Structure 1
């Protein structure tokens, strides 16, 4: 995945936490990508399946928080879902609809956008089949948090980047046993991950990724530029997930 410099790729969590736009909306994705200009941004998206079998972008099981509708997405038909509009965080109803996964894959085709896939329902095979159809496997990073899911994704595709939560030596040993092509394995680390383990992973050509979570850890505001740089340096990160990707990108740009 290309990055804003030779060291760190920036991931926009749900497209970014910019209050004038609804989360996970096409308008937000376009704005964030435009702000990155020639740089490549990775956009994190959450995927669920409707009652009719269509893959939509939705973080919560329910559509109540982010749309002007009600109900569990898995129980709702496409006709109803397509009639709804997304809301901003303050509840303002916008003209944005709920994007389908296929729509997003088409959207990123000729743009400097890669995707991080957080697949909320057990539909990994269906998701990756769509990715293959669009010939975009080399631009996907798949998040996994359970060993059996990690193994399943690895079996479906060896061309995507594959991440697993690594906080202990035992978690790494489990991940290491799953066949993954060299350079395609990502360790999602936290403050619990020992520095010694991170160093060992880097020696094994494993990419290191962590999140900032400014929405819950920084009062919904971007960090000071030095804080982004300190986190990257402290955990030796290759990939940084941020609620404020534009600010994180600016903080990590090489000084001229």
Structure 2
């Protein structure tokens, strides 16, 4: 009898040990896709889902669809949160600039937001509404479109990660972080997600190396100015994709001096160009 009890106890201990083992992390497919050695990924990132397009407002699902019909790109979107805790696409704290209404997003319900229409960058009122993040996720999954998700300061990182996981949208989302602490927090909550991390210089990259985040989980945003070739080489030596933000000053340079500058910057070591001029970039580098 004692032998039977002993065997039973050992069996229960083994089962308990097995059940306590953590499940292996199944990483987003994007972790394998976005490698410097791969190159088989979109090399244009569309800022705010598309800007300066007549009758197509920024952070608007219809604008993303319109651009996606013409070029291969990933789409950077901004996530805000309403008074009733709905996640929506909106860059500003208020809706004054981009809609027919006014007020702070965090002080308005989703129904109050939907009373207003989106306005393009030229002041034209459209029939389009502020989109829910969950609807954009659903469309992106269905159409295999990659989103880089920028979380506004008033929104909890955990709420956005939860929404991505609830939608099973890990394979179409890159989470944007701006410093090492944000990157560490994102990785702790979602070790399966690909992260856009700030690596504008060697010092920032050194801090990331000390953060114990796997390099395969990183895309390096190298800022809005061209970095030294040594930084691009170092990132590439670690198989990390480099993204340059031409939005703003560099886009203006290209517009004034010639779009061929985009090809020059790409040949300098840039893998992805984040821009307000996606069609012009596509014409040059594709």
TM-score (norm 1): 0.88
Q: Which runs of 5+ in 1 are unaligned?
A: none
Structure 1 residue matching 2:69: 3-state secondary structure = helix
Moved more, 134-143 or 178-187: 178-187
How much has 1:223 moved relative to structure 2? 7.4
In structure 1, distance between residues paired with 2:150 and 2:242: 17
1:31 paired to 2:66: yes
**Structure holding more helix per residue:** 2
CA gap of 1:7–1:51, structure 2 versus 1, over 3 A, is closer
In structure 2, distance between residues paired with 1:173 and 1:54: 37
How do 1:230-241 residues align onto structure 2 when only pairs under 5 Å count? 230-234=264-268, 236-241=269-274
**Matching residue of 1:188:** 221
**Matching residue of 1:229:** 263
Q: Which runs of 5+ in 2 are unaligned?
A: 1-29
Give RMSD over aligned pairs. 2.3
2:201 to 168, 176, 179: 168
CA gap of 1:217–1:9, structure 2 versus 1, over 3 A, is closer
In structure 2, distance between residues paired with 1:30 and 1:132: 23
In structure 1, distance between residues paired with 2:171 and 2:125: 35
**Matching residue of 2:94:** 62
**Structure holding more strand per residue:** 1
CA gap of 1:169–1:221, structure 2 versus 1, over 3 A, is closer
Q: What per-residue deviation string (whole Å, max 9, x for no partner) do you get for residues 19-59 of structure 1?
A: 321111122111011112xx4x2111000111110001110
Q: What per-residue deviation string (whole Å, max 9, x for no partner) do you get for residues 138-176 of structure 1?
A: 221121112211111111112222122222322112111
1:248 paired to 2:281: yes
Aligned length: 248
Alpha carbons 2:263, 2:285 under 8 Å: kept? yes
Alpha carbons 2:232, 2:270 under 8 Å: kept? no
**Matching residue of 1:12:** 46
Structure 1 runs, 4 residues or longer, greater than 6 Å off = none
How much has 1:186 moved relative to structure 2? 1.6
**Matching residue of 1:207:** 241
In structure 1, distance between residues paired with 2:204 and 2:210: 10
TM-score (norm 2): 0.79
How much has 1:90 moved relative to structure 2? 2.0
In structure 2, distance between residues paired with 1:15 and 1:215: 19
1:132 paired to 2:165: yes
